[in-house]
Amino acid sequence: MEWLGRAKINFTHSTTPLSLTRKDGAPTDLLSICEEATPPCKLNPLLFNGHVQTMWTAVKNDGPPLYYKRKIFENEDPAFAGSFAVDFISRPSPEKDTSLPIRTTYFIDDEFSSISSDDTRPMLVVLHGLSGGSYEIYLKHVIAPLVGAEGEKQWEACVINSRGCAMHKITSSILFNARATWDIRQMILWLRKTFPNRPLFGIGFSLGANILTNYIGEEGAACQLKAAVVCSNPWNLDVSSAALQRTWLGREVYLKTMGGNLKKLIELHHDQVAKNPKLDFAKIRAVKYLYEFDRHVQCPTWGYPTEGAYYRDASSTDSLFAIRIPLFVINAKDDPIAVDEGLPYEEIKQTPYAVMCTTSLGGHLSWFEMNGHRWHARPASNFLNKMAFEVDVTAPVDIFQNGVTKHSQSGAEYDSMRRKWQM
């Protein structure tokens, strides 16, 4: 236990972090920007470890009062047919729609048809955690100060809801998984076309952080995002699953809760999902834990022989080697879900494009301060503001030849995106 909630902060990084240039012409680097963005971590001393921090998230409050307008998109790739819901930050409105999360309403057609803009405001693309949505408090704490800024420092933002989440009705038997990059890929291309002058940035939380990291790695030097933040990424899914199964709390609290949430989600969309002949709902309804859900849903859906094969293939650690944009990683060492033994310490050291900030306290997507605020929101929003307004991010820099990482000692090439399951 740290003294009075004062968490220790450490930065893991390459010996030669990515060189950057400030807009005033002064040289800097990614490590310096991340260090400047990170304030001291002083958490609520009553929430004295990762379990208590994480369990406190069950004590819900409304969080910052953000308003959204929702648009339903159809995926254009027949391999990933189905719809997904995107919630755009909007002006406060007295309108209500009880079929949607709080303060969320649908765009009317005329309203959405005029959404395109030539403005240069930075835009944040957000991915939530497992079975969550745009209403989650941990993401609203990051978005609120950015979209609430005044004048030229004001941001735009949108949240891509995973299929079936945030009260979105699933329209096909194709669900999301830890490698579900197809909807964000289409959305980024749409944003680039609709807002041609807006610099795009990304942030992901928990499973959304894993998906975002995989997406950025898949895109490589062609990635349209200027920079990104990932919070509480589980990174090595098989390591995290094994660690959770070792303890009673891991099995009976975390794995059971996450498995139960996904069971409710798939049951809510039973009529549509049951059209997938590979799914056995008798087995799915007997599921207790998250790994059992993955065994009986994700494995047959995507052709993995075991949940371990799925976890290893979908993990985002190796994607770090293919990333070619600045990435700020934030994890807590006492996180009971994204466990410390699964964090990519050695991989981070091998890429100049990423810096990892670890705190000794914080739990999973928690980091509760005395006032109820979440500490992670401050380094995340500070970093995004620095990258948007202080650093020249006009073009990505591919340090590695042909986008393939060379092993620093042997000189051998390693293609980190040669995955077992191909899109």
pLDDT of residue 252: 97
- Give me the amino acid identity at 380: A
What is the model's pLDDT at position 395? 56
Write down the pLDDT at residue 404. 56
Band (pLDDT 50/70/90 cuts) for residue 410 is low
The pLDDT of residue 229 is above 80: yes
Residue 398 pLDDT greater than 70, yes or no: no
Write down the mean pLDDT value for the chain.
93
Please tell me which residue in 364, 366, 376, 381 is annotated as part of the active site. Answer: 364
Q: 206, 232, 240, 315: which one is catalytic?
A: 206
pLDDT for res 416: 83
226 CB-contact burial (10 Å; exposed 0-12 / middle 13-18 / buried 19+): buried
Mean pLDDT of 282-301: 96
Of 335, 360, 376, 381, which is the active-site residue? 335
Dihedral (CA of 172, 176, 182, 186) sign: positive
For 184-219, how does the pLDDT look when each residue is reduced to its tens digit (9 = 90+)?
A: 999 999 999 999 999 999 999 999 999 999 999 999
Q: How far is Cα 187 from Cα 202, in angstroms, rounded to an integer?
A: 12
% pLDDT > 70, the chain: 95
Sheet of 123-127: strands edge to edge?
9-13, 354-359, 327-332, 225-231, 200-205, 123-127, 156-161, 83-89, 68-74, 104-106
272 phi and psi, to 5 degrees?
-85, -45
Predicted confidence at residue 76, as pLDDT, reads 96
Q: Residues near 19 by Cβ (< 8 Å), separated by ≥ 6?
A: 27, 28, 29, 397
76-96 pLDDT tens trace: 999 899 999 999 999 999 999
Domain boundaries, the chain: 3-235+317-393, 237-314
Global pTM reads 0.95
Active site residue 407: no
Residue 77 designated active-site: no
Work out the pLDDT band at 412, boundaries 50, 70, 90: low
CA distance 333 to 313: 24
Is 376 in the active site?
Answer: no
Give the tens place of pLDDT for each residue, 333-364.
999 999 999 999 999 999 999 999 999 999 99
Domain 3-235+317-393 has CATH 3.40.50.1820: yes
